[in-house]
Chain A
Amino acid sequence: MADDQGTRTEIGPETVVTGDVRADEDVVVFGRIDGTVSSTTAVIVEDGGRVGPRVEAPTVIVAGWASGDVIGTERVEITETGRVLGCVYAPRMVLLEGGAVKGRIVMDGSRPDSVQASAPARTVTARPVAAPAGTAARRASATATRGGREPVSATRAKAAAAAPAPRAPAKAGLLDLGDDGESKID
């Protein structure tokens, strides 16, 4: 319930939406949206959720699977379980350790229609890095809460209140995006 009136759209784990979804509230996806999703607040793709070929919102958080264009007009966050196969457009971006992107990351303010398609696709995998002091606590708290498989949307609401905890062990090597491409929905 991130927006002022506390309303949101939630796509359940066993729901498939095909087509266009437009919202003036948060859209939280546990299931699947085949089409375009846009929100004037945020789109949150939970672990197990799938969206594509286009997601657009001021804030986009990917803990599940996103294919195509992921457009965060303010920021994009890809969590430890997040996978993006496509392009991420965002002026600010967080890719947590374990999260993966196969495609391009565009942070120069351009939009999908204005970017040339000639750049080679590369796999980017988050690796352990010394996080700046300011982000360390926030990151640790996010890791701690999500360890209990709490939805990101819930974590997001109370991220500020969560206590710091030990970080999860580092994952090594490249991640296989292909295996995660299988749908969990029949």
Chain B
Amino acid sequence: MGETTIGPRTRIEGSVTGRDVLVVEGEIRGTVTMDAPIRIEREGRLEAEVAGPEVAIGGTVQGHVVGLKKVEILPGARMIGDVRTPRILISDGAVFRGRVDMDVGEG
């Protein structure tokens, strides 16, 4: 498992998929689907459907986020959209607007 870094002065329109750890310091519009952890740094901007085993959001995300194991919304993050994950962590100082679906049983 390697690492993919989208630099702060890079913009991607389209899809990013794969088995590398993904670190986003720049901008992605489209879809992001990884089989390894995804980390959106403070300066990172995503307008995308995001899916991965673990998603850590420290920057700006607009879209639907699926974390198969965990989603973390870190201090300084700005998350607008819905999150589906079994475990979520929202830090003090994070901005989050959207729904959370944690598959809570309704019985």
Task: From B3, B9, B14, B20, give the contact of A19 (CB < 8 A).
Answer: B14
Q: How far is the CB of B37 from chain A (nearest CB, A)?
A: 12
Task: From B4, B10, B18, B20, give the contact of A22 (CB < 8 A).
Answer: B10
Contact B10 A14 (CB under 8 A): no
Whether a CB of chain B sits under 8 angstroms from the CB of A18 is yes
Interface 1/0s, chain A 21-50, versus B by CB < 8 A?
111111100110001000000000000000
Size bracket of the A interface:
20 to 34
Interface 1/0s, chain A 1-27, versus B by CB < 8 A?
000000111111111111111111111
Contact B19 A14 (CB under 8 A): yes
Q: How far is the CB of A156 from chain B (nearest CB, A)?
A: 16
User: Known interface pairs A7-B25, A17-B15, A18-B15. Does A12 touch B8 (Cβ–Cβ under 8 Å)?
Assistant: no
Interface 1/0s, chain B 1-35, versus A by CB < 8 A?
11111111111111111111110011000100010
Contact B15 A9 (CB under 8 A): no
Contact A21 B7 (CB under 8 A): no
User: Known interface pairs A31-B4, A35-B14. Does A14 touch B9 (Cβ–Cβ under 8 Å)?
Assistant: no
Q: Name the residue of chain B whose CB is nearest to the CB of A7.
A: B7
Q: Name the residue of chain A whose CB is nearest to the CB of B9.
A: A24
Please report the C-alpha to C-alpha distance between residue A74 and residue B76 in the assembled complex, in whole angstroms.
40
Contact B4 A20 (CB under 8 A): no
Q: How far is the CB of A57 from chain B (nearest CB, A)?
A: 12
Q: How far is the CB of A91 from chain B (nearest CB, A)?
A: 25
Please report the C-alpha to C-alpha distance between residue A12 and residue B92 in the assembled complex, in whole angstroms.
33
Contact A15 B20 (CB under 8 A): yes
Please report the C-alpha to C-alpha distance between residue A95 and residue B7 in the assembled complex, in whole angstroms.
29
Contact A7 B8 (CB under 8 A): yes
Q: Name the residue of chain B whose CB is nearest to the CB of A8.
A: B7
Chain A residues within 8 Å of B, Cβ to Cβ: 7-27, 30-31, 35, 185
Chain B residues within 8 Å of A, Cβ to Cβ: 1-22, 25-26, 30, 34
A-B contact pairs, 10 of them (CB 8 A): A9-B7, A12-B2, A12-B20, A15-B2, A15-B19, A21-B12, A22-B11, A23-B26, A26-B7, A35-B14
